[in-house]
């Protein structure tokens, strides 16, 4: 009997799409919210804001664990060290990205970061021995080229700025891969379990970096001068709550999909941020920018469809192979 592919998307595919949409919505919301907090409330302290995010992540995860929403796994000494190294990678990725932004223009930074999917493929092939279909490579072209066109502008960079931006791109790809492996590999951690172990370490490292760069002293001076108003406290609380929800959605989407999909999603998120900025802050875009936005959105949809078709074809092939093996086993028993 022939095996036919399902006529509708599998529940796993629909669930992955749902979490990707939640990731997009929360990411865009937090991007705009961060801009509002730093500009409208005159709170220009990115590392302090990151510390608020990690602190809220820590509190939120422990509350979820305390109420029984998830059961923390018991880790050995080796696994605990893996969490420490992962938190360092997480913080280092943020630090390198922020430092490089001071040495290059935003358009150049976004163009280089758009190559995260390519580095994800390269790292996966070299270290994880993975292989990808040629169709997947073709779908990446419009997303990367689209970001280049959508962010076309003043491409200025220093030599050290270029190196740091490229390093940040590699770290972003590596972080996405490690995040996926920690959740679906031998550890199989719940997204909130991973976030609970990473957030306190990232909080400590973020505060250390804030101290080294002098931002911590400037933040205390801001507080002493009465800058911490009740309105700002409420804004920071909701900002941290959204960051916690975003981290949960991001980790869950990574677990439901794969590292490459999250890289493509990051590119789509960039152009969606541009669209949102144009709508809210009345920014102007050129016809070239508009073409780039459309190309990136098309590329993201094309990648999603191609990835789904390849997975469905693989599932059908595995099912047919299993059926054939069962029939062969049954024939041997009856003969």
Strands (E), 140-289: none
CA atoms within 13 A on the CB side of 113: 28
Residues in CB range of 270: below 8 A, 6 or more apart: 110, 113, 114, 147, 150, 151, 296
Cα 89 from chain centroid (whole Å): 14
- 126 lies in some domain: yes
CA atoms within 13 A on the CB side of 127: 11
Report how far residue 272's alpha carbon sits from residue 287's, in angstroms, rounded to the nearest whole number: 16
The tokens for 219 are 């933040």
Report how far residue 263's alpha carbon sits from residue 240's, in angstroms, rounded to the nearest whole number: 24
Q: Is 80 exposed, middle or buried (0-12, 13-18, 19+ CB in 10 A)?
A: exposed
The tokens for 164 are 């740091």
Rounded to the nearest 10°, the torsion over CA 62, 64, 69, 71 is -10
Report how far residue 112's alpha carbon sits from residue 121's, in angstroms, rounded to the nearest whole number: 16
Report how far residue 320's alpha carbon sits from residue 318's, in angstroms, rounded to the nearest whole number: 5
Structural domain range at position 110:
11-314
What's this model's pTM, rounded to 2 decimal places?
A: 0.82
Alpha-carbon separation of residue 305 from 4, 22, 39, 311 (angstroms): 19, 18, 39, 10
- 325 lies in some domain: no
- 333 lies in some domain: no
- 30 lies in some domain: yes
Q: Give Dmax over CA atoms of the chain in angstroms.
A: 90
* pLDDT (tens place) for every residue of the chain, 335 residues total: 444 444 455 567 788 889 999 999 998 888 888 888 888 888 888 889 989 999 999 999 999 999 999 999 988 888 888 888 888 888 888 878 877 877 887 778 888 888 999 999 999 999 888 888 888 999 999 999 999 888 877 677 888 988 998 999 999 999 999 999 889 877 889 999 999 998 998 899 899 989 998 999 999 999 999 888 999 999 999 999 999 999 999 999 999 988 889 999 888 888 887 777 777 666 677 888 889 989 998 999 899 889 888 888 876 776 666 666 666 666 666 66
- 330 lies in some domain: no
Q: Would you tell me the crossing angle of helices 77-101 and 191-213 to the nearest 10 degrees? A: 50
Count of structural domains within the chain: 1
- 213 lies in some domain: yes
- 274 lies in some domain: yes
Q: What is the DSSP string of 23-47?
A: HHHHHHHHHHHHHHHHHTS----HH
Residue found under tokens 């292989």: 131
Query: Which pLDDT score is estimated for 321?
Result: 64
Residue 185's region, left for phi above 0, alpha for psi from -120 to 50, else beta, is beta
The tokens for 275 are 């669209």
Query: Which pLDDT score is estimated for 3?
Result: 43
**In this structure, what are the phi and psi dihedrals at residue 214, rounded to the nearest 5 degrees?**
90, 0
SS (HEC) of 283-308: CCCCHHHHHHHHHHHHHHHHHHHHHH
- 1 lies in some domain: no
Query: Which pLDDT score is estimated for 5?
Result: 46
């Amino acid at each position: 009997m022939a095996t036919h592919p399902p006529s509708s998307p599998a529940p796993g595919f629909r669930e992955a799409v749902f979490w990707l949409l939640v990731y997009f919505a929360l990411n865009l919301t937090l991007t705009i919210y961060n801009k509002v907090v730093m500009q409208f409330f005159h709170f220009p302290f990115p590392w302090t804001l990151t510390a608020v995010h990690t602190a809220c992540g820590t509190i939120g995860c422990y509350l979820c664990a305390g109420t029984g929403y998830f059961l923390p796994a018991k880790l050995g000494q080796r696994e605990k060290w893996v969490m420490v190294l992962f938190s360092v990678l997480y913080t280092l990725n943020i630090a390198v990205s922020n430092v490089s932004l001071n040495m290059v223009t935003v358009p150049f930074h976004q163009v280089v970061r758009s190559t995260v999917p390519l580095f994800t493929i390269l790292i996966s092939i070299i270290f994880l021995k993975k292989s990808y279909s040629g169709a997947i490579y073709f779908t990446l072209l419009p997303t990367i080229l689209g970001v280049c066109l959508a962010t076309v502008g003043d491409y200025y960079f220093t030599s050290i700025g270029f190196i740091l931006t490229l390093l940040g791109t590699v770290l972003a790809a590596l972080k996405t891969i490690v995040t996926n492996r920690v959740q679906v590999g031998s550890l199989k951690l719940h997204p909130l379990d991973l976030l609970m172990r990473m957030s306190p370490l990232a909080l400590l490292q973020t505060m250390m970096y804030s101290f080294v760069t002098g931002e911590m002293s400037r933040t205390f001076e801001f507080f002493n001068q009465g800058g911490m108003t009740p309105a700002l406290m409420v804004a920071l609380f909701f900002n941290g709550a959204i960051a916690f929800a975003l981290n949960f959605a991001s980790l869950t989407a990574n677990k439901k999909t794969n590292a490459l999909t999250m890289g493509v999603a990051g590119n789509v998120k960039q152009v969606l941020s541009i669209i949102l900025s144009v709508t809210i802050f009345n920014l102007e875009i050129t016809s070239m920018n508009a073409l780039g936005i459309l190309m990136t959105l098309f590329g993201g949809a094309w990648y999603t469809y191609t990835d789904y078709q390849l997975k469905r074809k693989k599932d059908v092939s595995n099912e047919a192979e299993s059926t054939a093996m069962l029939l062969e086993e049954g024939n041997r028993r009856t003969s």
